[in-house]
Amino acid sequence: SYELTQPPSVSVSPGQTARITCSGDALPKKYVYWYQQKSGQAPVRVIYEDSKRPSGIPERFSGSSSGTKATLTISGAQVEDEADYYCYSTDNIGSFGGGTKLTVL
Partner 1 sequence: QVQLVQSGPEVKKPGASVKVSCKTSGYTFIDYYMHWVRQVPGQGLEWMGWINPNSGGTKYAQNFQGRVTMTRDTSVSTAYMELSSLTSGDKAVYYCARAGERRGSPGDYWGQGSLVTVSS
Binding residues for partner 1, per CB under 8 A? 1, 31, 33, 35, 37, 42-45, 48-49, 54, 84, 86, 88, 90, 92-99
CB nearer to partner 1: give 41 or 105. Answer: 41
Q: How far is the CB of 10 from partner 1 (least distance, A)?
A: 15
In SS3 terms, 34-99 reads as EEEECCCCCCEEEEECCCECCCCCCCCEEEEEECCEEEEEECCCCHHHCEEEEEEEECCCEEECCC
Q: How far is the CB of 14 from partner 1 (least distance, A)?
A: 26
